[in-house]
Amino acid sequence: LPIPPTRSLQNPKISLTQIKVVDAKGGDKVVFNINGDGKKTEMQLWPRHCVQNTWGAQLHKDLKILDNQNIVYKGTNPHIDAFSAFWDNEKIYNTDLKEMLVKKGITDVYVCGICTDVCVGATANDSLEEGYRTILIESCSRGISEDNIQATKKNITNKNGIVIQSKQVKNLVSGSDRPSCLAIKRAMEISKIEK
């Protein structure tokens, strides 16, 4: 599903570290809760999608792939789904995304894609919880439910993340625009380190 503003983010004048997240479910995924385990789990059931080695798991043909990009595969465990690029839905198994970000010294995470109110929102939430300044690029994202999209955006801003349009990315990356909530988020994370 092409989202037209994403093309504007592929400008070679903007220096970004590109990390692609690929939802790569196995075709044998079975997600269930065993009766009597005492754990209540709410789960949305989805049609089969993003199955490894099928067209549904491919990145869009117009997306420019950088030579130095990293790829994070999520949703590969057949026993538990993973909306976030950081963790599975029960936060038992993590991907190597945080390790990649730490290794590269990245402090700001820009998220966009499909679906704003599911995978993109879960990734943004976990990014904020992991201490990253997190920016949702709204014009480069699409969601399912308008109510859930609004709740996702509110959650991000309540945790000192921001929601922007693609035309704002260049100024944020270059540092010519730095919203105060991002400075607050960074200060909060530094104070945790100093304790």
- Given this model, what pLDDT does residue 137 score? 96
> In the predicted model, is pLDDT for residue 14 greater than 60?
no
Task: Note the CATH architecture for domain 4-9+17-32+42-194.
Answer: 3-Layer(aba) Sandwich (3.40)
C-alpha closest to that of 145 among 44, 22, 42: 44
pLDDT greater at residue 3 or residue 184: 184
- The residue extents of the domains of the chain are 4-9+17-32+42-194
Averaged pLDDT for residues 118-143: 96
Alpha helices in 105-179 (DSSP H): 121-129, 146-158, 169-174
pLDDT greater at residue 3 or residue 67: 67
- CB under 8 Å to 144, separation ≥6 — which residues? 115, 117, 118
In tens, the pLDDT along 85-124 reads 999 988 999 999 999 999 999 999 999 999 999 999 999 9
pLDDT greater at residue 190 or residue 115: 115
Residue 29's pLDDT band (boundaries 50, 70, 90)? very low
In Å, how far from its chain's centre is CA 160? 16
- Given this model, what pLDDT does residue 39 score? 60
Using CB atoms within 10 A of its CB, is residue 190 exposed (0-12), middle (13-18) or buried (19+)? exposed
